[in-house]
A and B are shown apart, each in its own frame.
Chain A
Amino acid sequence: EAQVTQNPRYLITVTGKKLTVTCSQNMNHEYMSWYRQDPGLGLRQIYYSMNVEVTDKGDVPEGYKVSRKEKRNFPLILESPSPNQTSLYFCASSLSPSGETQYFGPGTRLLVL
């Protein structure tokens, strides 16, 4: 089954404790992206990747890191989480960077205390 998977689905952590949210797709997609969803703000793009070893900042990259060492995986790293990073996070992938349908993972709900 074609899908985007994220882990964990729910995470409670404390300020400053490094964490990684994994994202994997099995569709051989070139483009992958991370978003955060906050009430009233919609989805905002954090980082995106056009292919292996090619990443770029979205609109809200501060406090986040990403890497794309393999085509299928695109982990999101919070080196020192803060309470303002409490949010619902979505990973998505598409065949190519422009004009293609994005396929979304089920989301990761993060609470930073």
Chain B
Amino acid sequence: AQSVTQLGSHVSVSEGALVLLRCNYSSSVPPYLFWYVQYPNQGLQLLLKYTSAATLVKGINGFEAEFKKSETSFHLTKPSAHMSDAAEYFCAVSEKAGTYKYIFGTGTRLKVLA
């Protein structure tokens, strides 16, 4: 069965430092991959997605993610953290064939320190 693992339920970075949030998936066939962000007391919104075009995907607010098939990873990065990036981030996958389930990771809460 498809699964998504996000390493680190809480990550703290200083303002201006690199943000790296990790996501690994398990699937013999690379799925569609997504990163969503959830600000406090809000629903989720899409940051970026990989749908088998370019392996380096750029999203909103300066975030990007690289799909690495050999590592079954889709880590999210941002070169310089801003206070407004503090939120919870979710990696998700949906299969290209078979069921149409959507699987989310358990989330990583990002804290940005002044």
Q: A40-B9, A98-B95, A99-B96 are in contact. Are A48 and B102 (CB under 8 A)?
A: yes
Which positions 1-59 of chain B face chain A at CB distance < 8 Å?
A: 6, 9, 32, 34, 36, 42-46, 49, 51
Is B44 within 8 A of A56, CB to CB? no
Give the chain A neighbours of B101 by CB distance below 8 A: 45, 48, 58-59
Is B46 within 8 A of A56, CB to CB? no
Is A35 within 8 A of B104, CB to CB? yes
Is residue B61 contacting chain A, with contact meaning CB distance below 8 A?
A: no
Give the chain A neighbours of B100 by CB distance below 8 A: 31, 48, 50, 56, 97-98
The 9 sampled A-B contact pairs (Cβ below 8 Å) are: A42-B6, A42-B105, A42-B107, A43-B44, A50-B100, A90-B43, A97-B100, A101-B49, A102-B102
